[in-house]
Amino acid sequence: MTPTAPVGTPSGPRPVTVACCQLALQVGRVEENRARIRAAVEDAAAQGAGIVVLPELANCGYVFEDAAELHALAEPLDGPTVREWTELAARLRLVIAGGFAERGDDGRTYNSAVLVDETGPRAAYRKAHLWNGEKTWGFTPGSQRPPVVDTRHGRIGLMVCYDLEFPEWVRLAALDGADLLCGPVNWPLYPRPEGERPGEIVRVQADAAVNRMFVAVADRVGTERGQDWLGGSTVVDADGYPVTASRLGEEAVLTATVDLAQARDKSISEHNDVHQDRRPTLYAHPGSDPS
């Protein structure tokens, strides 16, 4: 008998430490970026992490001059960045989720994320909702659903930055059973009212709570060609509250130990379940959505 279901964690995941590497990277400085990532991943492992999240486009930086600069920095899925992350995952026994600029077999460039363990890439994903300059630098938006992979630490979903602002997209990963959604991001720093938590984090809190799913985000810090980054990395629990200390704007490896098994229980009251209570037959919008 051939099992067709993923090799499971029948009794559910056990507590695991998740680390978000909040890094100052620079566009084009690929070797420096890789070294910085390597050091952060080793730091995360030393802190006991089982799952490590890296920022969006971590191999190459973000603020490209033009499509030519981006294209020159993109790598195939089996290129040096993902190979190194696989080696780190194997050596330090980690599951690593991170973003990189991907040159596809089709010659196109994607804002991709990959989930690797010691066996290599377990899933690759291409950002479906492109942000601002990404539309002019020649990124092609992906059209595949966010992957959800059964790992030794639980089921992990993957998407990139602006994708997290589309609750429909987050819902897909949650309905596919993600216990933890990993989001490599590069959040630009915007003004906000005094005393307010950045809206990007607020929206991730909502993503988590309405699905009773953990979310881990690794953001950038510092300034790159005049662009300031927020540095808003966080791990949010299934109730929607951050469980990492805030290290806004600092270079840091943020860690939290979480019980991802909590995400297997979607009930929030005696008679409510955040997924069973959905009424999907009512949700298509006649003016804009397929019905």
Segment lying near a second copy (by CB under 8 A), choices 30-38, 86-94, 101-109, 279-287: 279-287
Does 169 contact a second copy by CB under 8 A?
yes
138 lines the binding site for a second copy (CB under 8 A) = no
Is 196 a residue that touches a second copy (CB under 8 A)?
yes
Tell me how far, at minimum, the Cβ of 218 lies from a second copy, in Å: 20
Q: Which stretch binds a second copy (CB under 8 A): 38-46, 147-155, 235-243, 250-258?
A: 235-243
Give whichever of 39 and 202 is closer to a second copy, judged by the CB atom: 202
CA–CA distance from 173 to each of 38, 124, 176, 212 (Å)? 28, 14, 5, 12
Q: Please tell me the distance from the alpha carbon of residue 260 to that of residue 277, in angstroms, as a whole number.
A: 22
From CA 82, how far away is CA 151, in angstroms rounded? 18
Q: Which of 64, 100, 125, 131 binds a second copy (CB under 8 A)?
A: 131
- Dist. CA 156–CA 176, nearest whole Å: 10
User: Site for a second copy (CB under 8 A): which residue of 100, 110, 162, 229?
Assistant: 162
Q: Using CB under 8 A, which of 42, 118, 165, 259 touches a second copy?
A: 165
C-alpha 183 chain-centroid distance: 2
Interface with a second copy (CB under 8 A), residue total 57
Segment (H or E) for 199: helix 199-209
Which of residues 175 and 261 has its CB atom nearest to a second copy in the complex? Answer: 175
Tell me the C-alpha distance between 53 and 55, whole Å: 7
Examine residue 203 and tell whether it contacts a second copy (CB under 8 A): yes
Q: Which is nearer to a second copy, 223 or 272 (CB)?
A: 272
Q: What minimum distance in Å lies between the beta carbon of 109 and a second copy? A: 17
Annotate 126-140 with DSSP letters as a single string: E-SS--GGGGTTTBP
Burial, 282: exposed, middle or buried (Cβ in 10 Å; 0-12, 13-18, 19+)?
exposed
147/126 Cα distance (integer angstroms): 10
Using CB under 8 A, pick the residue from 136, 223, 250, 265 that binds a second copy.
Answer: 136
User: Which residue out of 21, 56, 75, 200 is catalytically annotated?
Assistant: 56
Q: Report residue 168 as tokens.
A: 């429909």
For residue 150, is it left (φ>0), alpha (ψ between -120 and 50) or beta?
beta
Among 49-57, 126-134, 225-233, 255-263, which window interacts with a second copy (CB under 8 A)?
A: 126-134
CB 214 within 8 A of CB 235: yes
H or E element, residue 223: strand 223-224
Residues that bind a second copy (CB under 8 A): 128-133, 135-136, 141, 143, 145, 162, 165-169, 171-172, 175-176, 192-193, 196-197, 199, 202-203, 205-207, 209-210, 239-242, 269-272, 274-275, 277-285, 287-291
